[in-house]
Chains A and B, each alone.
Chain A
Amino acid sequence: MTRSDHSLRRRLVWLVVGAILGIGLISSLVVYQRAHHEADELLDTQLAQVAETLLTISVGGEIDHFVEEMHEQARRYAVPIAFEIWHRAHDEGDRIVTSPGHSGFVPPIPDGYSNREHQGKLWRLFSIHDPASEYVVIVGQRHSARDRLARETGLSLLVPTLLSLPLMALLVGWVVNRSLRPVDALAQSVRSLDPGALTPLDSSSELPREIAPLRDAFNALLVRVSAALDNERRFTADAAHELRTPLAALKIQAQVAQRAQPGEAQHHALAQVIAGVDRMTHLVEQLLTLARVEQGAATPPRPYDAAALLAASCAPYRAALSQNRQTLRLEADPGCTPLLERAWFEIIVRNLVANAVNYAGTAAQIRVSLRCVSGRARLCVSDDGPGLSPAARTSLRARFARGDTEAEGCGLGLSIVERIAQRAGAELTLEDGDPRPDGGVGLAVCLDCPHAPFSASDTSA
């Protein structure tokens, strides 16, 4: 299971137990070496003392008596040290005495300390001679004695460490488990979250410093996600409700047509059915546009002729303009292009102009302007229509808001423009428009954004 492979808990236990084991091993090794060294020094000194004592005894002529004593003792105790005494005249010498059980080292033996193999074992030797009496004393001890001493000292440290290791592992496991309990609790509370209602985790309870930021970050994410989710939910609900009225109209008109006698009334109802389908088509198209704007990535725009696009986008409204006896004036700085994708710019212009045509009223004058000033491009659609109060300007930005008007529309145009503005880092404002003959002002909807670096000329330059 991949999950247990990455268990923090298990890794902590292994790491801590391993570290304790490693430290135990290393310190035992160090102690062993240290003990070996100390044993060498101690036993070397002992060897020299024994040799000197034996020499003094030999020179004093009491060696025979001492050796007898030694042999007597050797019958009762194991003698840890071997020695031999030589009397050397010129270069020849005779071994006078050897310690009990000792067969004698093979000469020559150098003065002072030396190592030698004897009967398959490693020995430490010390040789001393008195030039006056020509006695030579050689004392030897097996190396294994020293090794054993060092080993026992080292093991005395290692064994308790090894024996206590399982207990230590249990203890470490318990401590780690205990310390990770808040993580388990946090996981449990995240697991029990209702995906429908993403309420933030309880932030009042005390959490360790290491986990609290995780919870806080998670809560911040929850807030963002649930805001987005709420927005989506509201949108879906709003859209569904918005579809119900045109659907109701379609159904009623169709039923009226079905029941009417052939003639003008039936013809009228059928024409209304067709108009209803057109209106629903428009609503669905606007919804799709909004969805595309929400999902589409803000790609860096490619160059295009904004002034030409502006004129082309306004062209479809010519029939509606003449029907409403409205006029439309276009003012575009040459080469001024907002930093907006071509398709988005077109959607914005269409929606703003459509709004002006629908809501500015009969005989209104509509002005569409695109100006570049000090690095900013500003698109304004202003009219001398009835205008809007500041409160109405705010509420009009809501989705499906149509304002207090009898004019047809699905109330999504401004939402689409606003969403594009947000995505493109542009600013949308509703301002006073052009003055009316009666002293009031119309409405101006303006979009302010950086202008594209690829524009051919810049009026501010």
Chain B
Amino acid sequence: MRLLLVEDDRLLGDGLRAGLVQAGYAVDWVRDGEAAITALGTESFAAVVLDLGLPRRDGLSVLRGLRSRGDTTPVLVLTARDQLEDRVQGLDLGADDYVLKPFDLDEVAARLRALVRRAHGRATVILRCGDIALDPAARTVMRGSHAVDLTLREFNLLQILLENPGRVMSRRALEEQLYAWDNLVDSNALEVHVHHLRKKLGNDAIRTVRGIGYTVAAHDPV
């Protein structure tokens, strides 16, 4: 799960990045509006955490630019303004949710999970495929009635795949979503994670589409 954090305040940005990394996200942090536009134009993110008061280009303008390009990446707005019109303006411009400063780390994480879930058109919290069930909030994976112990990367990889059931995810798309800029990607790291997942969840859990990437089966009709 890769996030773009747009926050000009050094202390807050640093804390949010650390907190979101603790929560299992890969976080890219930019500190002004122009940098945010550049990042959003070249990479894809699971969600954006956007502060409104930014140097060079303010947050609402970044949001307007993003939506006018037809980009539907979920955006969580951080705002110090609690006036109704400020919030309404942000939501009207295409923000998906907002939190008011000072906020709780857990609340930010929960809202981000909800945004990502909604962006994938899911109403249910638990992601399922066959006998595998993944709970993004509790960060647990069950196979049948047994809990499966996964590393951070394995968990994130499985979540991305489960969020796109039936779709073949390319190696590049998976890597982009898994790693922040500052984590150098080892050329065969992805294969290693897939290999471990298959060992823990069964060989048929993840299917390889030769030359393209990986996929999980579409939801079984219940």
Contact = CB atoms under 8 A, between A and B. Distances in A.
B15 A269 contact: yes
B220 to A, nearest CB: 36
A114 interface: no
Contacts of A265: 18
Contacts of B55: 402-406
A279 B11 contact: yes
B210 interface: no
Contacts of A248: 12, 78, 80, 101-103
A269 B18 contact: yes
Interface in A263-279: 265, 268-269, 272, 275-276, 279
Contacts of A268: 18
Contact of A247 (B10, B14, B53, B101): B101
Interface in A364-414: 402-406, 408
A95 interface: no
B22 A272 contact: no
A250 B102 CA distance: 9
Given A249-B11, A249-B15, A406-B31, A260 B22 contact: yes
B3 to A, nearest CB: 14
Contact of A245 (B9, B18, B56, B106): B9
Interface residues of B, number: 26
Interface stretch (A31-39, A80-88, A251-259): A251-259
B15 A253 contact: yes
Contacts of A247: 101-102
Contacts, number: 82
25 contacts: A244-B80, A246-B9, A246-B11, A247-B101, A247-B102, A248-B80, A248-B101, A250-B11, A251-B103, A251-B105, A252-B102, A253-B15, A253-B18, A255-B15, A255-B19, A255-B104, A255-B105, A259-B19, A272-B15, A276-B11, A279-B11, A404-B55, A405-B55, A406-B10, A406-B32
A423 interface: no
A125 B80 CA distance: 112
A249 B51 CA distance: 13
Given A245-B80, A247-B101, A251-B102, A259 B14 contact: no
Contacts of B104: 251, 255
Contacts of B31: 406
B163 to A, nearest CB: 25
Interface string B16-38: 10110010000000011000000
A102 interface: no
B18, B104, B105 interface centre (most CB from chain A within 10 Å): B18
Give chain A's interface residue range (CB within 8 Å of chain B): 20 to 34
Contact of A252 (B15, B53, B56, B100): B15
Nearest to A400: B53
B200 interface: no
B171 interface: no
A256 B11 contact: no
A279 B15 CA distance: 15
Nearest to A254: B15
A329 interface: no
Contacts of B80: 241-242, 244-245, 248
Nearest to B8: A406
A249 B18 contact: no
Given A404-B55, A406-B10, A259 B22 contact: yes
A244 B100 CA distance: 9
Nearest to B103: A248
A342 to B, nearest CB: 35
Given A272-B11, A275-B11, A406-B10, A256 B22 contact: yes
A276 B13 CA distance: 12
A255 B9 CA distance: 17
B81 interface: yes
Given A249-B11, A269-B18, 12 more contacts: A242-B80, A246-B12, A249-B14, A252-B12, A253-B18, A256-B105, A276-B11, A402-B55, A404-B32, A404-B55, A405-B55, A406-B10
A48 B22 CA distance: 137
B9 A252 contact: no
A259 B21 CA distance: 11
A245 B52 CA distance: 11
Nearest to B16: A252
Contacts of B15: 249, 252-253, 255-256, 269, 272
Given A269-B18, A406-B8, A252 B105 contact: yes
Contacts of A249: 9, 11-12, 14-15
Contacts of A275: 11
Contacts of B10: 406, 408
A246 B7 CA distance: 12
B53 to A, nearest CB: 8
